[in-house]
């Protein structure tokens, strides 16, 4: 019978085929570190040895959770789809009485880093320029987002072709806005909010809708400042 032992560097020891003991670094820790490396340095910066040094563990810890570096990269792509893409799609499907409220729900997603990590989105786009496989995954994910936005407009009475156009305008404007890195204060964005909603939908938002969205944006900004 094989007995479990804690290693001196805090890595899990082996009992059968699973990590036990003093688990200093988890799979999520490795994934978080890899995500930040991807954002900061691109895919070339996602290196097992470098990540291990940051986490203060040896390479052997990595292989408890991932088969290879490619396995880790695949997990990053899966994480991105299950967070950014899933969050945006979910917001398009939230109940809304009006199209302006529905678009406001989408705004709630893209301004909240807890829901949608813009920096990660651009890191994936940069990676896709170097990898046909990732580019294919990116295109599939973007199509899913656009289809969800299109369906949102259709549910609120827009003809199919107009719904396609408005979905693209909303989505690609948001990408362009983020890519421009304007650093626009939330106060300025909030002041333009009624005009943005009118431009995206052709409809005037109610004062209650605008006020609710501004409160949400202010809360997100306060959270960022607190962090």
Each residue of 128-156: pLDDT tens digit?
999 999 999 999 999 999 999 999 999 99
Alpha carbon distance 100, 217 (integer Å): 16
Contact criterion met (CB below 8 Å) for 92 and 105? yes
At residue 10 the predicted structure's pLDDT band, cuts being 50, 70 and 90, is very low
Q: What percent of the chain has pLDDT over 90?
A: 74
Q: What is the mean pLDDT of the chain?
A: 88
**CA 72/CA 82 separation, integer angstroms:** 15
Q: Is the pLDDT of residue 11 over 50?
A: no
Question: What are 188-223's pLDDT values in tens digits?
Answer: 778 889 999 999 999 999 999 999 999 998 898 888
**Is residue 2 over pLDDT 60?**
no
pTM value? 0.85
Q: Quote the crossing angle between the two packed helices 132-155 and 118-128, to the nearest 10°.
A: 130
State the pLDDT confidence band at 6, using cuts at 50, 70 and 90. Answer: very low
Alpha carbon separation from 101 to 9, 85, 98 (Å, rounded): 52, 20, 5
The answer, yes or no, to whether residue 60 has pLDDT greater than 90, is: no
What is Dmax (Cα atoms) for the chain? 71
User: Quick one: which of 222, 224, 227, 221 has its CA closest to 186?
Assistant: 221
């Amino acid at each position: 019978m094989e007995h479990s032992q804690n290693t001196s560097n805090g890595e899990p020891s082996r009992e059968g085929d699973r990590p036990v003991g003093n688990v200093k670094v988890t799979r999520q820790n490795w994934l978080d570190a890899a995500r930040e490396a991807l954002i900061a340095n691109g895919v070339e910066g996602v290196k097992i040895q470098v990540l291990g040094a940051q986490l203060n563990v040896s390479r052997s810890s990595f292989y408890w959770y991932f088969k290879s570096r490619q396995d880790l990269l695949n997990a990053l792509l899966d994480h991105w789809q299950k967070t950014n893409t899933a969050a945006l799609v979910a917001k398009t499907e939230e109940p809304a009485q009006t199209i302006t409220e529905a678009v406001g729900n989408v705004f709630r997603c893209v301004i909240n880093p807890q829901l949608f990590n813009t920096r990660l989105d651009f890191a994936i786009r940069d990676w896709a320029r170097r990898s046909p496989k990732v580019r294919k995954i990116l295109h599939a994910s973007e199509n899913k987002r656009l289809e969800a936005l299109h369906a949102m407009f259709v549910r609120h009475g827009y003809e199919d072709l107009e719904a396609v156009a408005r979905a693209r305008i909303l989505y690609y404007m948001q990408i362009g806005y983020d890519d421009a890195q304007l650093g626009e204060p939330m106060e300025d964005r909030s002041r333009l909010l009624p005009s943005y909603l009118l431009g995206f939908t052709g409809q005037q938002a109610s004062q209650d809708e605008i006020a609710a969205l501004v409160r949400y944006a202010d809360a997100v900004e306060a959270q960022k400042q607190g962090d």
